[in-house]
Amino acid sequence: MRRNSIRETGNRALRSIAATLATIVTMVLLALAFPASAQKAAPHITASLVAEQPGKPGETITLALLMKTAPGWHGYWSNPGDAGLPPELEWTLPKGATTGAMQFPVPQVLLVQGLMNHVYEHDFAVLIPFTIPADARPGSTLPIAAKARWLACTAEICVPEEADLKGSVTVGTGTADARFTAWRAALPAPLDRSAAFAATPAGLRLAIPFPAAAKLDNPHFFIGGDGLIDYAAPQAFSRDGDTLLVDLPKSKYPGTEQPTTLSGVLSLGGGAGGIALVAKAGPVPEGGTPIATPAAPAFSLATLAFAIVAALAGGLILNVMPCVFPILSLKALALARGNSQHARADGLAYTAGVMLACLALGGLLLALRAAGTQVGWAFQLQDPGIVALLLLLAVAITANFAGLYELPGLSIERGAGKSGAFATGLLAAFVATPCTGPFMAAAVGAALVLPTWAALAVFAALGLGLALPFLLLGFIPALRRLLPKPGPWMEKFRHFMAVPMALTVAALAWLAWRLGGTTFAAATLALAGALVVLLALAGRAQRTGTPVARWIVPLGVVLAAVAVIGTPRLASAERHDEAGLLGAKPFSEAALAKARASGKPAFVYFTADWCLSCKVNEGVAIETDATRDAFRKAGVTVLVGDWTRRDPAITQFLTARGAGGVPLYLWYPAGGGEPQQLPQVLTPDTLAALAR
C-alpha cells in the first residue's frame, strides 16, 4: 500500500514537472519568435546622403551614399557573391533631376561557411551622378530624398536594415566636400583598353591588357554578372607578355547562359586598388606563365612525428583539466572498486570512444576547410548552439556526480560493460572540447598542412593521449593496485568531483554570455534549470525502482533540441572588448601593418574566452603590472585577436602562421625583421624581458 502511495505521489510529481517544463520551453520558444530587442535595435550600418558641391543648372555633380559600418559588421558590393544583398535606393527627386548608376569602391572577399561574399568590412561610400534640372533657379536649394535598403551581416547573422535619407543640393557655386577625394580614389580605375574573354571547359578565361612590369599582389577578379562562375573556387592568374590571363572557375549551376559581354573589377591586392573593365567575347591566348603563389608546405615525416608527439602530449594534459579529470577519476575508481574483471576490454572500449570522437571532430574540421570555410580547432565552441548543448551536458554530469540521479556509465558501484565504457569515452572527448590546452594548437596547426591521412593520424594521436591513462590502468594490473582501497570515502569523492564540473558549468555560462549576449545566456540557463529539475525527478524515481528512460530521454532530447536549434536565434552580436592593462587594440592586418611601419616593437596575441591556457597566460604573463610597465617604457604596440567568435580573417592569419588554433603569441621587434613566435606557455617574465 505504501509503495502504491509513493508511486502515485511520484506520478503526480511527474505530471507537475512535465507541465512546468512545457511552460518553460514554451516561454523560451516565444522569446525566440518575438525577441523584444529586435524592434529597438540600432542599425549596424548607418547610411547618409551627401552632395559633393553646389552645381549649376543642367550640370552633373556627385552624391555619396555614405555607409558607416559598426565593428564586426559588413555591407555588400553590387554583386554580393554567394550570399547577401547590395544597397538599394528608391529616389524622390525634384522635377527634371536625374541620377546615374551607383559607383562602388573596390570590395573585399570574405569566406563564410564555404560561401564567397564580396563585402566591405569598413566604412565605404557609393558615388552617384546627379544631374541638376536645366530650369533650376540659381541660388535655390533642391531637396533630395531616397528610401535606402541594405543588408548588414557578421559571420554569424544578417539583419536587413533601411532608412529614409534626406539631403539637398544648392544651385550655384561653392566649395567641394574634401572627403570626396578619398572616396573617388577608392573607386576602381577604368581600363583604357579593351579586354576579351572566352568560355573554356573549366569556366571562363579572361584576357586583360596589363603591363608585364606592373606589380600584382594577391589579385582577385570580382565579376559583375550573377551566377556566371563559382565564386568560392580558386582563381588562376598567369601572364602572357603585357596581357594578364585570368581563369575563372565554372559556375556550380549547370545550364548557365554564357554572356556576350562581361564586366567586373580586378583587385590588384596589397592596397593597390583595382581596375574596372568590360570584356567582349572573343579569342584569348592559351598558356601563359602562372603567377607565383605561396607553395604548400611539403609533407615530411619530421612534421608528422612532431604533430603526433604534440597531439599525444596535448591529449594527456587534457586529463587534468576540470572538464575531463572527474570523468577519468570515476572510471578509475570503478576499477578500484572491483569492476576490473574486464578491465582490458573496458580500457579498449573507452579508448575507441575517445579516438572515434576526436577523429570525427578532426575529419569535420578538414572537410569544412576543404570546402573553403575558415575554421580551426575548437571551431564548434564558436557556435552558440553547441555551447548551449555543452552547458546542458556539463549540468547533467555535475548533477550525476552530486548524487541527484544515476548514470550507469559514470557509476562507481557498477559499470555498464563495454558499451558503457565506449559511450563514456565519447562523452569524455566531447566535454573536453572547452578545455583547449598546451601543445594542441601546434599539433593541429601542423595537421592542417599534412595530407588527409596524416592529419587524421594526428587527431587519432590526440584521442589516444586523452584515453591513455585509463587504457594503461586497464592493461597494467600493477597500476590498478596503486589505486586507493575501496571504501565509503569513494562516494564522498564522487560528490567532491561535482565541484570541478560545476566550475566547468560556470565557465560555459560565462562563455555563453560572451558569445551570444545576455538574452542568449539567460535562455540557456533557463533550459539548464529545467534540466536539473527533470534529473532530480528522475533520481527520485530511480530510488523507488521506477523505470525512467522512457520519459526522461524524450524530454531531454527536447531540451537539447531547443538548446541547439532555438537559443542561437537569441544570440546577439554585442561585443565585450576590453583593452585591459596593456591597452590592447583589436587585431587586423591593417593595424599590424601600421604598427610595424611605426618602427616600434609590437606584441600580437590571439586568444579566445573558451581557451583555458590562453586565460592562464593572460593572468600570469600578459595582463600584469610588470609587463605593462615594460611595454610602456619600450613603446610596444599591443594587438589582440579575439577568436571567441568565428572570424575568417583571424583563422586565415593563424593558418598562415602554422597554428590551427589558439593561443598564438607573436613578438615583432623594433625596426622590422621577422616576428618571433613565443611558446604557448608563458612565464611571468617572458614578455617583460623581450621589451627590455
Q: With contact defined as beta carbons under 8 Å apart, do 380 and 515 qualify?
A: no
Tell me: do 177 and 319 sit in the same domain.
no
CATH classification at residue 644: 3.40.30.10
Tell me: do 202 and 167 sit in the same domain.
no
Instruction: Select from 576, 563, 241, 220 the least CA-distant residue to 384.
Output: 563
Identify the weakest region by mean pLDDT among 201-205, 481-485, 498-502.
481-485
Tell me: do 493 and 557 sit in the same domain.
yes
C-alpha cell at 262: 562581361
The pLDDT tens digits for 321-352 are 766 666 666 566 665 555 556 778 888 888 89
For the chain, the farthest-separated pair of C-alpha atoms sits apart, in whole angstroms, at 101
Give the domain-ending residue among 141, 157, 185: 185
Q: With contact defined as beta carbons under 8 Å apart, do 118 and 93 qualify?
A: no
Question: Is pLDDT at 24 greater than 60 in this prediction?
Answer: no
With 0-12 / 13-18 / 19 or more C-beta atoms within 10 angstroms meaning exposed / middle / buried, residue 293 is: exposed
pLDDT at 551: 87
pLDDT at 129: 95
User: Which residues partner with 165 through β-bridges?
Assistant: 146
197-222 average pLDDT score: 87
Helices 343-370 and 452-475 cross at an angle (nearest 10°) of: 160
pLDDT at 295: 41
Q: Is residue 80 helix, strand or coil? A: strand
Distance CA 351, CA 347 (A): 6
Give the domain-ending residue among 168, 185, 202: 185
Question: Is pLDDT at 93 greater than 90 in this prediction?
Answer: yes
Q: In 300-312, which positions are buried (b, 16+ CB within 10 angstroms) versus exposed (e)?
A: eeebbeebbebbb
pLDDT at 26: 43
Confidence of residue 400 (pLDDT cuts 50, 70, 90): confident
In a domain, 4, yes or no: no
The backbone torsions φ and ψ at residue 221, rounded to the nearest 5 degrees and listed phi first, read -100, 120
Distance CA 181, CA 52 (A): 10
Distance CA 309, CA 312 (A): 5
Confidence of residue 253 (pLDDT cuts 50, 70, 90): low
Question: Is pLDDT at 575 greater than 80 in this prediction?
Answer: no
In a domain, 399, yes or no: yes
Which is more confidently placed, 673 or 31?
673
209-227 average pLDDT score: 85
C-alpha cell at 99: 541620377
pLDDT at 323: 62
In a domain, 35, yes or no: no
353-380 average pLDDT score: 75
255-263 average pLDDT score: 77
Q: With contact defined as beta carbons under 8 Å apart, do 25 and 142 qualify?
A: no
Tell me: do 334 and 405 sit in the same domain.
yes
Average pLDDT, the chain: 81
Tell me: do 327 and 435 sit in the same domain.
yes
pLDDT at 632: 92
CB atoms within 10 A of CB 487: 11
Query: Strands 274-281 and 289-290, how do they pair?
Result: unpaired
Dihedral of CA atoms 352, 357, 358, 359 in degrees, nearest 10, equals: 80
Confidence of residue 627 (pLDDT cuts 50, 70, 90): very high
Confidence of residue 60 (pLDDT cuts 50, 70, 90): very high
Query: Strands 602-607 and 637-642, how do they pair?
Result: parallel
pLDDT at 677: 84
In a domain, 3, yes or no: no
pLDDT at 676: 87
Question: Is pLDDT at 533 greater than 90 in this prediction?
Answer: yes
Is residue 598 left, alpha or beta, with left meaning phi > 0 and alpha meaning psi from -120 to 50?
alpha
pLDDT at 220: 92
Q: How many residues does the chain have?
A: 692
Confidence of residue 425 (pLDDT cuts 50, 70, 90): confident
Domain count, the chain: 4
In a domain, 34, yes or no: no
pLDDT at 3: 45
The pLDDT tens digits for 150-198 are 988 887 677 888 999 999 999 998 888 989 988 998 899 888 778 999 9
The backbone torsions φ and ψ at residue 191, rounded to the nearest 5 degrees and listed phi first, read -75, 130
Q: With contact defined as beta carbons under 8 Å apart, do 321 and 432 qualify?
A: yes
Distance CA 106, CA 322 (A): 49
Distance CA 642, CA 313 (A): 25
Distance CA 358, CA 244 (A): 45
Q: Is residue 203 helix, strand or coil? A: strand
User: Which residues partner with 676 through β-bridges?
Assistant: 667
Which is more confidently placed, 370 or 422?
422
In a domain, 24, yes or no: no
262-278 average pLDDT score: 87
Tell me: do 236 and 356 sit in the same domain.
no
Q: With contact defined as beta carbons under 8 Å apart, do 353 and 424 qualify?
A: yes
CATH classification at residue 279: 2.60.40
271-296 average pLDDT score: 78
Identify how many contiguous H helices and E strands the chain contains and give both numbers: 18, 24
Instruction: Select from 211, 212, 191 the least CA-distant residue to 262.
Output: 191
Percent of the chain with pLDDT over 90: 28
538-567 average pLDDT score: 88
361-374 average pLDDT score: 70
Tell me: do 213 and 107 sit in the same domain.
no
Residue found by looking up cell 555563453 in the block: 512
pLDDT at 254: 60
In a domain, 578, yes or no: no
Query: Strands 158-170 and 141-153, how do they pair?
Result: antiparallel
Give the domain-ending residue among 248, 268, 290: 290
Percent of the chain with pLDDT over 70: 80
Question: Is pLDDT at 428 greater than 80 in this prediction?
Answer: no
Query: Strands 585-586 and 45-51, how do they pair?
Result: unpaired
pLDDT at 244: 92
Instruction: Select from 435, 481, 482 the least CA-distant residue to 320.
Output: 435
In a domain, 95, yes or no: yes
Distance CA 547, CA 535 (A): 13
The single-letter DSSP state of residue 129 is: E
Tell me: do 92 and 213 sit in the same domain.
no
Question: Is pLDDT at 71 greater than 70 in this prediction?
Answer: yes
pLDDT at 367: 78
The pLDDT tens digits for 4-13 are 444 444 445 4
Confidence of residue 37 (pLDDT cuts 50, 70, 90): very low
Residue found by looking up cell 555588400 in the block: 76
Distance CA 221, CA 228 (A): 13
CB atoms within 10 A of CB 270: 11
Q: Where in the sequence is the domain holding 510, given as residue range(s)? A: 9-13+298-570
Distance (Å) of CA 432 to CA 265, 358, 425, 511? 46, 10, 11, 15
Q: With contact defined as beta carbons under 8 Å apart, do 606 and 678 qualify?
A: no
The pLDDT tens digits for 680-690 are 778 888 898 88
Tell me: do 529 and 616 sit in the same domain.
no
Tell me: do 162 and 194 sit in the same domain.
no
Confidence of residue 508 (pLDDT cuts 50, 70, 90): confident
User: Which residues partner with 639 through β-bridges?
Assistant: 585, 604
Distance CA 121, CA 45 (A): 11
The single-letter DSSP state of residue 232 is: T
Distance CA 142, CA 139 (A): 10
Q: With contact defined as beta carbons under 8 Å apart, do 182 and 175 qualify?
A: no
The single-letter DSSP state of residue 569 is: G
Instruction: Select from 500, 443, 491 the least CA-distant residue to 466.
Output: 443
Task: Name, in order, each residue with C-beta under 8 angstroms of 404's C-beta and a sequence gap of 6 or more.
Answer: 532, 535, 536, 539
Task: Name, in order, each residue with C-beta under 8 angstroms of 510's C-beta and a sequence gap of 6 or more.
Answer: 609
Which is more confidently placed, 17 or 586?
586
C-alpha cell at 256: 548557365
Tell me: do 561 and 621 sit in the same domain.
no
CATH classification at residue 58: 2.60.40.10
Question: Is pLDDT at 249 greater than 80 in this prediction?
Answer: yes
Q: With contact defined as beta carbons under 8 Å apart, do 254 and 275 qualify?
A: no
Tell me: do 673 and 558 sit in the same domain.
no
